[in-house]
Amino acid sequence: MTTLVQIHTPQPAAHHFRFSSAQGEHVFLVDGSQIYDIGDDFAFAPPRPPMFPMVVPSPPPLHSLSLHLGQSCNLHCGYCYADGGAFGGTGGSPMDETTARKSVDLLLREAESGTVPVLGFLGGEPLLHRGLLHSTVHYAAAEAARSGKSIRFSLTTNGTLLTEEDALLFSEYDWTVQISVDGMAALHDRQRPAKNGGSSHAALLGALERMEKAGRPRALTARSTIARGWGRLPEELDYLLSLGFDDAGFSPVLAADGDGFALTRDDLARFLNEMTECGERAVAHWREGRAYPFANLQTALRQLHQGHHQPYPCGAGAGYLSASTSGRLYACHRFVNDAKRAMGSITSGPEDRRRRQFLEERHVDQQQPCGGCWARYLCGGSCHHEALRAGRHACDYIRGWLAFCLRVYVEMETPA
């Protein structure tokens, strides 16, 4: 048997990225994501130690917890990371009332005072467990009020099962409802087939109507998963926004169980072109003072303005954990039932030793080939789950997109 040893050649660390815009020459400093206008004689030597050191943090207090009420789904999307709702075939029974309540207690107990914790519902399709979802939300709101706290809720749903009763619940409390819409009807129904045959797209349009009637949730957003063979993004985005979402954005499939879903390098080049086309469309709207909530660009611009820099792509294993149906805690919803990423349980609480280990191991400075990339503290090394499963083959896309966003940022900040 031959053992393959992969040797990483250390790359020169990237400290800055120069770029041009209609405003002139600029530099993005990796240290603290600082953006400057520069002259021709610009030269850069990174300060030692860096101004914004990227240490491995201690596990922070729990801020958001997502619950897997059940692991089943009424759709069968080929690209689903949860294996079309079966979660690797483990299936299992849905979460029970006691587990849900204990999860809420854990979140309220662990959340730092003065912050507003977030209770999320993911799946599977959470609305298959309507009764439990409703009772858990009422319980959480009452418990939060009793302890003098506020709480927010979030839901990721395919929208096909949403009833008037659900819509009323979403308008009553502080909700972010995120609906998965892959585009116009034909594409959506092809990518997101219902197990019972009907049109999942028509069902979600009904859900939007019901929410409009009952009073919208605080935030109603659309997320579109882009798999191979997608339609054109600019037209898809126009369509999503025409449905009245507060914002809409795209996520490319980078790793999938089913064949022919994950984007190849060539697909990613086309994807980048269409994303920037969407971005230009947004900028044109904004210059005329009209709204065009393209979520990917809005988020990037906000983060660039704030100088967002962090060594992780998300809060997984840190302020964010996910509870499985049996009440075990995992680094995030994508790692549910992955024993290697288990992090305690709702009864024993988050296991800090394992969280710390995860944060050490997943720090972007530990990842390859991230050290040589100027975008590493913006991207954080990309989704842990996807990187572990399929490596990092979307880096050129990520850098291309961020370079576009940087240009838009400096040009928008000082209108031409």
Partner 1 sequence: MRPKLFPRNLTAQAAKLVAGNPATSRPESGTDVCTPGLEIDLRALEERFFPGLLWDFERGDGARLVGMDEEVQGLQRHECLTEDAPVFLLGLCAKMRAADKGVTFFRFDSSAGRAVWRRVRDLPKTRVAILFGVRERMTPPLGQDELLKLLRQVQETGSPVIKKSGTAFAYAAMAAPRAAYLHPDTGVIPELFAPGELTKGLCSPWQFDFRDCGCNYWAAGKPDMVQSGDPAVGPVNYGRNRTKHPHTQDSPDRGIRNDAMYTASQMVAGAWKALPPVLGDRERNTLPPPRQPAGKNLFHREEAATELAYLATVEHALVVEYLYAAYSTHDRQAAAVIQSIAIDEMRHLLWVNELLQILGYAPSTTRAAVIGADPAKAEPGCGRRRMQEADGHQPTYIHVESRLRSLTLATLDYFIDVEKNSRTLNGLYTHLYLSIDAQPEEFPENVRLTAILRLIIDEGEDHYARLATVRTHLAARPENEWLRNLQRAEEPYPPAYGAAAAWYHLLLHIISVSFRLDNGRASLLQMAKELMQDLDAAICQLQADGVEFDWPEPPAADEETLEEALPRLHGYVSRIGSPSQRLFDAANAAEALIRAGLRNGQAPLRPSAGPCRYMEVRGR
> Footprint of partner 1 on this chain (CB under 8 A)?
26, 29, 32-39, 41-42, 51-52, 114, 116, 141, 144-145, 148-152, 172-174, 216, 218, 304-307, 309, 409-410, 413
141 versus 331: smaller Cβ distance to partner 1: 141
144 versus 373: smaller Cβ distance to partner 1: 144
169 versus 255: smaller Cβ distance to partner 1: 169
Q: How far is the CB of 413 from partner 1 (least distance, A)?
A: 6
Q: How far is the CB of 306 from partner 1 (least distance, A)?
A: 5
Query: For residue 23, what are the CA distances in angstroms to 111, 284, 410?
Result: 44, 17, 7
36 versus 360: smaller Cβ distance to partner 1: 36
9 versus 306: smaller Cβ distance to partner 1: 306
Among residues 71, 77, 78, which one has the least CA distance to residue 92?
Answer: 71
- Looking at residue 371, the DSSP 8-state letter turns out to be G
The contacts of residue 184 (CB under 8 Å, 6+ apart) are 201, 231, 236, 239
50 versus 91: smaller Cβ distance to partner 1: 50
Q: How far is the CB of 117 from partner 1 (least distance, A)?
A: 12
The amino acid occupying position 221 is T
**Cβ contacts of 268-272, under 8 Å, gap ≥ 24:** 268/393, 268/394, 268/396, 268/397, 269/396, 269/397, 271/226, 271/233, 271/397, 272/396, 272/397, 272/400, 272/401
The amino acid occupying position 209 is E
129 versus 309: smaller Cβ distance to partner 1: 309
Q: How far is the CB of 102 from partner 1 (least distance, A)?
A: 22
Q: How far is the CB of 322 from partner 1 (least distance, A)?
A: 23
Q: How far is the CB of 40 from partner 1 (least distance, A)?
A: 9
Among residues 70, 90, 186, 89, which one has the least CA distance to residue 130?
Answer: 70
The two three-digit tokens of residue 370, written as one number: 């991230």
The two three-digit tokens of residue 390, written as one number: 């399929």
The contacts of residue 306 (CB under 8 Å, 6+ apart) are none
Q: How far is the CB of 144 from partner 1 (least distance, A)?
A: 8
The per-residue b/e assignment along 54-73, b for 16 or more CB within 10 angstroms, e otherwise, is: beeeebeebbbbbbbbbbbb
